[in-house]
Every structure is written in structure tokens, then in C-alpha cells.
């Protein structure tokens, strides 16, 4: 299960904290637009001085080194003396300052904030349905969704904020979901195989889904990209960085975990949803999704039921497969613990997790950040297992800041 985009807001600013304290043991065992920028009185675009900020990086606790300027990533521009930055429709205090790169002298084309038509791409022996948004020459950023969730759960508004930052944004359906290839011949996995994670009977693993991502990149002529994954998508982007680190410029793992059964376990409250038989009728399927996200969503933000119903209905119509969801879950349980491999990574990494996540316990996010050297952890008050609309500007800013840490060599990589 992954992040449905439930619009939520709360009194005051959303609280996002940095965490240094990571539990040593876990006892439970279970499974405004760039280009059309503001200018000073002389008509010139303001260039911001780069400053170091005190940041709590997991495993260090020291002053984090200065973030490199956003090379090739468009930033909203502050005129000298301003104390706010515009992110979408939201004007708020700017928590850090960056050098500014403009998309083009001609200004930003609003058409870049809309997705193009859905297309099918051959990738790693399957077909993946995908869409693109943003500057074709911008830094590529792929959004990888989670269990039982289609690419349309990456809301177009959120993706538009990323496109405004100059990214070439790509969202896609994973295998066995939506309009991508279904592995119907593999059938439904046995419950024992599923929950013990029996690898020999799994039709595919997370590493195959990571290879799908690289296959899509090949089709799009992308040598390396920033990868952002939610829930199972976070597991996939972690696996991608382990398997082909030269192709991952930065990774962001949201409400995910390491694969260790000692962390990230679901709450007992979710067992009925995880173990129940999914409905086959459209209205019943929509009701199940609504019930699910009323339980696992963010209690600190109001629940936008109509939005959830709309996405659930569209998802059912695009390609509903109960067996495909089970096969995806089998890929998760059979892929094992990534912790030792994560410790070997050398990639800019951001981990975001809600403190109120019932589906993937916050210990999963903390363990992920502890495992990846230099990873930055953001624990979010009031956030469950979804991505509230009120937090989108903060997430976009965090993702862009993490992307800015990518080594110059990876940014200069030539298309395949």
C-alpha cells in the first residue's frame, strides 16, 4: 500500500522534524513558476548567497556541509530583502537559500506543468505505462509508486511543483498494476509462501522491478536519474541504488523500510485489511480503499474522501488485479533485508516518514536513514501512510535539496 494523495491541512504550519536518535533494537518481529521570476528594481534576477545551515544528519549530529548549488534545477527566486518564497500557491518563509538557475531566458512554459498522453514503453521484458511532465532538458526524476497503487496516485499538482523546479518528471505504473504488464500466468501466490517470503515461488522480486525502472530510463534515453519512491516504491528505489548506483543521482525513500523484519512492521490494526480478500466489484473496491485510508491515513490532517474515491475509481477502471497486488506483496516479502547493502551506498539520500504511520512503522524509516551513510531523515508529525497535500511544498523542497547534493559527474552523464 502506498501514498494516496489525501488533501489535509492543520492549524499552523505542518511540523517536520529531523531525528538523530535511532533505536538500537526492535523487539517486535513481523513483516509562481521558474522563468517568470521576481526581479529587483534594476530588473535583474536576484542571485542568492549560498549559506550553510545547521542540519541534523542521521549518524553525525555535526554541522552538515554546505549543500552544493542546484545545478540545473530551477529554483524560485527571492528578490533581495524578501523573506518568503512562492511554492505553487503557497507563500511562506524560505528555510534555506540556494543559487538560482533559470529554465530559460524566455520564461517557464505552463504547458510543462501538465502530463502528456499515457504511453507504453518496452522495459526489461515488460511494458510499462508512463507519462512525462516538465522541461525535456531538465534533470530527470522518476516517481515510483507503492503496493497496489497506480501512477495516478502521484498527483498532478505535486508533480507540477517538481516540474516548476526544472525537473523532467516521469511517473509510471509498476508491473502487475494499472496499464502495465500483468503476470496472469503466475497466478495467485499461496498465503504461506507470501508471508514467509519464499523466494523460489515468487514470479519476480524487487530487483526485477528496479530493472524495470532502468528499462524505462533506457527507453527515454536517460542514463541516470533522481529516484523518488513511496512505500514499496521506496524499496524499489533503494534496490535500484544498490544494483546500479551509477544510474541513481539521488534517492528519496518515503514511508518505506529496509526489508528487515525487525523494523517497519505494520500495526495489528491493519491486519484485517492486509489479510482480507479484496472485492471484485467497482463500488466495493472503492469503499475498501476509502476504509483503508481512513485507517492508515494521516490523523493530523483532514481526510479528503472525495479525492480518494475519485482516484480509487479511476484506478479500478485503468486496471484492477487482485492477484497482481498479491504478487507485488510476494516480491516484497521474498526480497529480504537490504540493510547490509544500504550501508555500502554512496548516494545523496533523503528519508521521509510519518510519525503516525500504521502500515509501515516509523522504525522502518529510521532504520533506512541509519543504514545509508549521510542520509537525511525527516520525521513528520501527524503524517500516516499517505502524503497530505499540505505537506507537498515541504516535500518538493526537500527532494530538490537532496537532488542538489548529487555529484557533478552524475549530472554530466550523457544520454544512452
Cα separation, 61 vs 44, whole angstroms:
39
- 306, with CB counted inside 10 A (0-12, 13-18, 19+), is exposed
Predicted local confidence at residue 236, as pLDDT: 99
Does any domain span residue 38?
A: no
- Which alpha helices (DSSP H) does 59-198 contain, by range? 156-164, 191-196
pTM of the model: 0.76
Cα separation, 389 vs 407, whole angstroms:
31
pLDDT at residue 87 greater than cutoff 80: no
Which residue is associated with the grid cell 548529487?
Answer: 406
Does any domain span residue 65?
A: no
CATH number at residue 381: 3.40.50.1820
Q: Give the long-range contacts of residues 304-308, CB within 8 A, separation 24 or more.
A: 304/6, 304/7, 304/8, 304/389, 307/5, 307/6, 307/7, 308/4, 308/6
Does any domain span residue 399?
A: yes
Predicted local confidence at residue 44, as pLDDT: 34
Does any domain span residue 79?
A: no
pLDDT in tens, 292-330: 999 999 999 999 999 999 999 999 999 989 999 999 999
Measured N-to-C along each axis, helices 392-403 and 156-164 cross at an angle, to the nearest 10 degrees, of 40
Domains contained in the chain, number: 1
Q: How far is CA 48 from CA 94, 280, 361, in A?
A: 12, 55, 39
Does any domain span residue 100?
A: no
The whole domain housing 197 covers: 16-31+111-411
Predicted local confidence at residue 47, as pLDDT: 30
Does any domain span residue 173?
A: yes
Between residues 341 and 71, the one the model is more confident about: 341
Would you say 248 and 237 are in contact if contact means Cβ atoms under 8 Å apart?
yes
Cα separation, 23 vs 141, whole angstroms:
32
Cα separation, 211 vs 226, whole angstroms:
15
Does any domain span residue 72?
A: no
Does any domain span residue 262?
A: yes
Q: Which of 134-148, 259-273, 338-352 has the lowest mean pLDDT?
A: 259-273
> What are 172's strand-pairing partners?
130, 144
Predicted local confidence at residue 110, as pLDDT: 59
Amino acid at each position: 500500500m502506498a501514498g494516496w494523495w489525501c488533501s489535509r491541512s492543520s492549524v499552523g504550519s505542518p511540523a517536520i522534524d529531523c531525528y538523530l536518535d535511532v533505536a538500537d533494537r526492535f523487539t517486535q518481529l513481523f513483516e509562481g513558476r521558474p522563468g517568470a521570476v521576481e526581479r529587483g528594481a534594476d530588473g535583474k534576477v536576484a542571485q542568492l548567497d549560498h549559506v550553510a545551515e545547521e542540519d541534523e544528519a542521521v549518524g553525525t549530529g555535526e554541522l552538515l556541509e554546505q549543500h552544493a548549488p542546484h545545478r540545473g534545477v530551477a529554483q524560485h527566486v527571492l528578490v533581495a530583502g524578501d523573506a518568503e518564497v512562492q511554492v505553487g500557491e503557497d507563500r511562506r518563509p524560505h528555510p534555506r537559500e540556494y543559487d538560482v538557475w533559470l529554465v530559460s531566458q524566455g520564461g517557464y512554459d505552463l504547458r510543462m506543468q501538465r502530463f502528456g498522453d499515457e504511453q507504453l514503453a518496452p522495459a526489461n521484458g515488460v511494458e510499462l505505462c508512463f507519462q512525462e511532465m516538465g522541461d525535456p532538458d531538465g534533470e530527470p526524476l522518476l516517481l515510483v509508486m507503492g503496493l497496489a497503487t497506480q501512477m495516478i496516485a502521484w498527483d498532478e499538482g505535486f508533480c507540477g511543483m517538481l516540474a516548476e523546479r526544472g525537473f523532467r518528471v516521469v511517473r509510471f505504473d509498476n508491473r502487475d498494476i494499472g496499464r502495465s504488464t500483468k503476470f496472469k500466468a503466475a497466478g495467485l501466490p499461496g498465503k504461506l509462501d507470501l508471508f514467509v517470503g519464499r523466494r523460489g515461488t515468487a514470479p519476480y522480486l524487487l530487483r526485477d522491478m528496479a530493472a524495470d525502472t532502468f528499462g524505462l530510463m533506457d527507453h527515454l534515453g536517460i542514463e541516470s536519474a533522481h529516484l523518488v519512491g513511496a512505500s514499496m516504491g521506496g524499496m524499489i528505489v533503494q534496490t535500484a541504488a544498490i544494483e546500479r548506483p551509477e544510474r541513481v543521482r539521488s534517492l528519496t525513500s518515503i514511508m518505506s523500510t529496509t526489508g528487515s523484519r525487525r523494523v517497519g512492521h505494520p500495526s495489528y490494526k491493519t491486519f484485517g485489511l492486509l489479510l482480507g480478500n479484496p472485492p471484485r466489484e467497482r463500488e466495493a473496491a472503492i469503499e475498501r480503499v476509502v476504509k483503508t485510508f481512513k485507517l492508515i491515513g494521516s490523523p493530523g490532517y483532514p481526510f479528503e474522501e472525495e479525492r480518494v474515491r475519485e482516484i480509487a475509481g479511476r484506478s479500478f477502471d485503468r486496471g484492477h488485479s487482485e492477484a497482481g497486488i498479491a504478487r507485488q506483496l510476494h516480491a516484497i516479502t521474498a526480497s529480504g533485508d537490504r540493510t547490509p547493502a544500504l550501508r555500502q551506498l554512496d548516494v545523496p539520500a533523503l528519508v521521509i516518514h510519518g510519525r503516525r504511520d500504521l502500515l509501515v512503522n516509523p522504525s522502518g524509516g529510521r532504520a533506512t536513514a541509519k543504514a545509508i551513510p549521510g542520509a537525511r531523515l525527516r520525521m513528520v508529525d501527524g503524517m500516516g501512510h499517505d502524503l497530505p497535500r499540505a505537506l507537498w511544498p515541504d516535500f518538493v523542497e526537500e527532494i530538490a535539496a537532496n537532488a542538489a547534493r548529487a555529484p557533478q559527474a552524475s549530472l554530466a552523464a550523457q544520454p544512452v
